[in-house]
Structure 1
Amino acid sequence: MRRLVPTGDPRSPVVFAQDTQPVAAPDEALIKVEAFAPNRGETFLLEEPRLDLVPGKDVAGLVVQAAADGSGPPMGTRVVGHPAMGGWAEYVAVPTHSLAVLPDDISAVQAAALPLAGITALRLLRAAGALAGRRVLLTGASGGVGHYLTELAAAAGAELTAVTATPARGERLLELGAATVVQAVTDAHGPFDLVLESTGGADFPVALSKLLPGGTLLWFGQASRTPVTLNFFDILAGPERAVIRHFHYAGAPYGQDLATLVRLVVNRRLHPEIDRVLDWSRTAEVLVDLRERRIRGKAVLTTGAVR
């Protein structure tokens, strides 16, 4: 079978290679991949790839071999999955606890855009607690996670201010329920009950300073790739009793959250924002554009197996 493997060249991060079809563990289903979606964090791993790196975490496709232990969906079922690795290939083995069944009215392209970004948004908002009536600041809002966070937070009753690099990148966020879109954290009119911070660098202390006394900052990314520097005396002069919490989405099982995301899409309460859909022969150029933040929302690659 064909799979995409790292090159170590930032100008063309992956190439096709021949590989053996994966052998599924007893609690894994073998999936024929129809579509997959890369994530920006994966582009960083490709810059100096480990020898054992086999990328690909967000997939949708068809079960061609059910799990031997009887768990999970039967052969012929359409699914969305979140494997630990290996999804940029014709076939991937996925633990059944990280799969959800797809109804006919969700395409493989829509489904592939859901896993990492959607699960992150769901789990982040659970960590945040009740949102009705709360003022929320979201940095780095125009990526895949940001679009899901905006729609879900607005639906939960939050008054959300989104920070994007350009007004054009914020237009869809307004349609999804953002109350305000600004182009810099300094332009956000606080104070806020909650800050969802994903950029790090110089934005972090500015965002922190916009909290209400006793407010919470959930730190879930560092898209700027610049370390955060905090001045104790600035914090002392800022919001009293501010809470800074680190957040990371990871922790299987993922299947229940995937099923929730699928249900929300079916009920038209969640709308995957897909900037482009291309054949997987163009994965390398998509990865470069994703790394350089030229993609709004998600990009999805198709293997030619989409029904």
Structure 2
Amino acid sequence: MKAALPGPDGKPVLLGEAAEPVPAEDELVVAVEAYSVNRGETLQLDGVLGRPRPDWRPGKDVAGRVVRAAADGSGPAVGTRVVAHPPAYGWAERVAVPTRSVAELPDSIDSVTAAALPLAGITALRLLRAAGPVAARRVLLTGASGGVGHYLTELAAASGAAVTAVSASPGRGARLLELGAVEVVTSAARARGPFEIVLESVGGPSLAAALARTAPGGLLVWFGQAGGAPVTLDFFDFFKGPAQARIAHFDYTASGADYGDDLAALVRLVAGGRLHPEIGSVRDWSRTADVIADLRGRRVRGNAVLTVG
């Protein structure tokens, strides 16, 4: 079968031949119709997150149709339209996925829309759980113009939070106001605190500025370092405002590798008109390398989706 294969030493991803998936007893096989590219996958390709094993291929967000049901009888039947979150290998014509990481799709949600849901949507849901109740609380969200940020903004605002979103580009941040943000600023340093909850994904000086705007006893959840710069914090800065504030590291996988329930919740929200995936780029999968370059250059608002024809 055809698959998007990572080139050696950071070379562009190219279409080539790969072995057919061999599913485990609790895995089904999906014929992929669309997949999403995430910034974390570009970091893996760059080696920032450590070199994957030699046979590794990217692909954690897919939508398509079941062509082989799980041998243990779990999961949807052959022919069912699904959205899925495999551990990897999804940038291909077919991929094996654990049935616990699959949700069925209604006819009202097309594959392009569905492919934008898994990693970004699951991360947003689990971040909000980590943050705790957000109703009537002031929330600061950095790096808000990516896929996770759009979902977080809409979900938090719908829950009653007053969200201040940070987007370095005003144009990229305009959609966040439509999704419920009360304000969009170009840096954490320009945000008017204090904030009971801070969701920080940029790192470097952004985290320090966000912490300075955290309310006493507030919570800063650190879920990324998209800016690439390491963070330097001064212990004594906590005495200048955010006394007894907490910093929590966040990894969406830490709360379990069963993603089906979260995927089903995202599907229900989209089908009910309560969640609106922001898809900034849709291209044929032969353009995967171009999309990766655009993501690295921060030229995509929301999610980037590739269609498999």
TM-score (norm 1): 0.97
- Letter of the aligned partner of 2:201 in structure 1? S
- Letter of the aligned partner of 2:171 in structure 1? A
The question of whether the paired residues in 2 share the 8 Å contact of 1:58 and 1:114 is answered with yes
For 2:190 and 2:268, how far apart are their aligned partners in 1? Answer: 36
Q: Where does the alignment leave 5 or more consecutive residues of structure 2 unmatched?
A: none
- Letter of the aligned partner of 2:12 in structure 1? P
**Which residues in structure 2 correspond to 1:1-20 (within 5 Å)?**
1-8=1-8, 10=10, 13-20=12-19
Q: Secondary structure at the match of 2:280?
A: strand
Is 1:254 the counterpart of 2:253? The answer is: no
Query: Which position in structure 1 is the counterpart of 2:282?
Result: 277
Query: Which position in structure 2 is the counterpart of 1:164?
Result: 167
Query: Which position in structure 1 is the counterpart of 2:242?
Result: 239
Q: Secondary structure at the match of 1:173?
A: helix
Query: Which position in structure 2 is the counterpart of 1:41?
Result: 40
Is 1:188 the counterpart of 2:187? The answer is: no
Q: Secondary structure at the match of 1:222?
A: coil
Deviation of residue 13 (structure 1)? 2.3
Query: Which position in structure 2 is the counterpart of 1:298?
Result: 303
- Letter of the aligned partner of 2:99 in structure 1? T
The CA RMSD over aligned residues, in Å, is 1.0
Is 1:58 the counterpart of 2:57? The answer is: no
Query: Which position in structure 1 is the counterpart of 2:293?
Result: 288
- Letter of the aligned partner of 1:5 in structure 2? L
Deviation of residue 200 (structure 1)? 0.5
Is 1:265 the counterpart of 2:264? The answer is: no
The question of whether the paired residues in 2 share the 8 Å contact of 1:13 and 1:47 is answered with no
The question of whether the paired residues in 2 share the 8 Å contact of 1:8 and 1:47 is answered with no
For 1:152 and 1:232, how far apart are their aligned partners in 2? Answer: 33
For 2:225 and 2:116, how far apart are their aligned partners in 1? Answer: 21
Q: Secondary structure at the match of 2:37?
A: coil
Query: Which position in structure 1 is the counterpart of 2:144?
Result: 141
Superposed structure 1 runs of 4+ greater than 3 Å apart: none
Q: Secondary structure at the match of 1:256?
A: helix
For 1:270 and 1:9, how far apart are their aligned partners in 2? Answer: 38
Deviation of residue 236 (structure 1)? 2.6
Deviation of residue 44 (structure 1)? 1.2
Q: Secondary structure at the match of 1:223?
A: coil
For 1:286 and 1:9, how far apart are their aligned partners in 2? Answer: 18
Deviation of residue 141 (structure 1)? 0.2
For 1:191 and 1:235, how far apart are their aligned partners in 2? Answer: 13
For 1:235 and 1:191, how far apart are their aligned partners in 2? Answer: 13
1:82 to 77, 82, 85: 85
Q: Where does the alignment leave 5 or more consecutive residues of structure 1 unmatched?
A: none
Query: Which position in structure 2 is the counterpart of 1:98?
Result: 101
For 1:293 and 1:8, how far apart are their aligned partners in 2? Answer: 23
Deviation of residue 9 (structure 1)? 5.4
The question of whether the paired residues in 1 share the 8 Å contact of 2:202 and 2:225 is answered with yes
1:216 to 203, 214, 219: 219
Percent of aligned pairs with the same amino acid: 64
Deviation of residue 237 (structure 1)? 2.1
Q: Which moved more, 1:49-58 or 1:241-250?
A: 49-58
1:179-200: CA deviations, max 9, x gaps? Answer: 0000011110011111000001
The question of whether the paired residues in 2 share the 8 Å contact of 1:195 and 1:216 is answered with yes
TM-score (norm 2): 0.96
For 2:18 and 2:243, how far apart are their aligned partners in 1? Answer: 56
For 1:220 and 1:155, how far apart are their aligned partners in 2? Answer: 21
Give the paired residue count.
303
The question of whether the paired residues in 1 share the 8 Å contact of 2:27 and 2:96 is answered with yes
For 1:201 and 1:184, how far apart are their aligned partners in 2? Answer: 12
For 2:195 and 2:209, how far apart are their aligned partners in 1? Answer: 12
1:111-167: CA deviations, max 9, x gaps? Answer: 000000000000100111111110000000000000000000000000000000111
The question of whether the paired residues in 2 share the 8 Å contact of 1:174 and 1:180 is answered with yes
For 2:121 and 2:187, how far apart are their aligned partners in 1? Answer: 25
1:212-269: CA deviations, max 9, x gaps? Answer: 1100001111101111100112223231110111111113100000000000000000
For 2:62 and 2:251, how far apart are their aligned partners in 1? Answer: 20
The question of whether the paired residues in 1 share the 8 Å contact of 2:215 and 2:241 is answered with no
